[in-house]
Amino acid sequence: MTCPLARRIVLILLLLASPALALDDAHWHRGVKSIERGIAYLRTTQNADGSWSPQPGGPAVTAMIVAAMLDQPDISPEDPQVAKAIDYILARQKPDGSIHDGILDNYNTSICLMALARVNYRPDVAEAIRRAQRFLKGIQWVDQEDPQGRPIDAAHPFYGGVGYGSHGRPDLSNTQMMLEALHQSGIDCNDPAFTRAMVFITRCQGTAGNDLFADEIVRDGGFIYATSIDKDHIGVPQSMASPELKDEALAGRAVSGLRTYGSMTYAGFKSYLYANLDRDDPRVVDALHWIRANYALDRNPGMPDPIARQGHFYYLTTFAKALDAWRASTITTADGQVRDWANDLVAQLAVLQQEDGSWVNDQDRWMEGDKNLTTAYALTALNAVIR
């Protein structure tokens, strides 16, 4: 465990050792101003108990905001609003180590663990982190029975994944959140949880190496949402970019050509990097091919036009985290353009920021109509590039 000063020194050394992002001075200042305005907005919306937007999802939004605030050099864990929010999070830890308010156990625990990892020098927080880590590794689908009574072995579509809990099946979004939480809180990438998750994540990718669903997913290197629609349709994969095919699958008709899309592709790519796969691993190469062919920041690429901005801020967050982990300052698109992706990200988020300093999505699926959540997403993305 590290004290606050030591933690900041380690962070500085890591940043100095990393390739610099191609963020020019104008965009850096623009990004800093956007962050300041976003945090100022959030300081006006905290509830008396220390939470932000506790309903309907639980403490996850509070934890995202705590993490975003603690990533600022001038905000410490002793900041009154941050300290109150940390206490709120800790008070929601259950005897099994999970952190939630009765629903979305993995989602809430993973995001809360990411926030707590920033104050791991506190003995009470360190113990909460260990318990949360054990919980997350314990809910990964492996060696149990599925809802239909079939054993979960390495050949099962659930193997290595994690889900919300309410659908009775794992999905890529929850799996990547669990992996990121373990990564940020110090679990080694050689841990079996990472190894198992790579099996599930690969099965969500449109790649020749997908041993179960290569014929169902478009082989463009991108990723879909899940290997099963729900507990009643195990092994019937689902993409949020192909909503029309879900009805076909639910009717019992075979589906193929599931479209891949941005938020899940960057989530999968990021997970590969956190698991320390080789940069020339075919899965990494295929994912990067998709990224180069579908570079966009004004929408969630791959989603059909009428719903192209659903999950837009989630997408921007995974975009920023994944490319930050890739440690390349530019992306060369399929048509040969060299993009300074960090500058592009800052410019896009500055355009989307509201007058009051918040962000919000008018396509409000997945809670992106909640200004606290969407502002937390935007700040998280900016924090990935503003050093």
Residues 6+ apart with CB under 8 A from 317: 377, 378, 380, 381
Residue 329 has pLDDT above 80, yes or no: yes
Residue 8: pLDDT above 50? no
pLDDT, mean of residues 119-133: 97
Tokens of 16: 């100095």
Instruction: Find the mean pLDDT for residues 146-152.
Output: 94
Q: What is the pLDDT of residue 9?
A: 44
Q: At what angle are helices 105-116 and 123-138 packed, to 10 degrees?
A: 150
Tell me the per-residue pLDDT of 212-227, one tens digit each, with 9 for 90 and over: 999 999 999 999 999 9
Q: Are 142 and 160 in contact (CB under 8 A)?
A: yes
3-state secondary structure of 291: helix
Q: Are 359 and 379 in contact (CB under 8 A)?
A: no
Q: Between these two residues, 269 and 164, which has the higher pLDDT value? A: 269
Residue 16 has pLDDT above 60, yes or no: no
Work out the pLDDT band at 245, boundaries 50, 70, 90: confident
| Mean of all residue pLDDT scores within the chain | 92
Residue 250 has pLDDT above 90, yes or no: no
pLDDT of res. 166: 61
Using CA atoms, how far residue 84 sits from 258, 293, 350, 380, in Å, is 45, 44, 29, 20
Of 34-38, 111-115, 307-311, give the lowest mean pLDDT range.
Answer: 307-311
Residues 60-65, mean pLDDT to the nearest whole number: 98
| Contact indicator for 361, 299 with CB cutoff of 8 Å | no
* Contact yes or no for 302/295 (Cβ under 8 A): no
Structure tokens at 278: 């080789």
Look at residue 124 and tell me whether its pLDDT is greater than 60: yes
End-to-end CA distance of the chain: 23
Confidence band (pLDDT; 50, 70, 90) for 275? very high
- Higher-confidence residue: 14 or 186? 186
- pLDDT for residue 336: 95
The predicted pLDDT at position 345 comes to 98
- pLDDT of amino acid 311: 94
User: What gap in Å lies between CA 264 and CA 286, rounded to an integer?
Assistant: 14
Query: Band of the pLDDT at 33, cuts 50, 70, 90?
Result: very high
Share of the chain above pLDDT 70, in %: 94
DSSP per position, 261-285: BHHHHHHHHHHHHHTT--TT-HHHH
Q: Residue 225's pLDDT is what? A: 97
pLDDT class for 6, splitting at 50, 70, 90?
very low
Helix (H, G, I), strand (E, B) or coil at 48: coil
Give 90's contacts (C-beta < 8 A, 6+ positions apart): 116, 124, 125, 128
Q: Output the pLDDT for position 246.
A: 81
Alpha-carbon span 65 to 354, nearest angstrom? 18
The mean pLDDT of 45-63, rounded to a whole number, is 95
Of the pLDDT bands very low, low, confident and very high (cuts 50, 70, 90), residue 1 is: very low
Both tokens of 152, joined, read 């979960």
Between 223 and 387, the more confident residue is 223
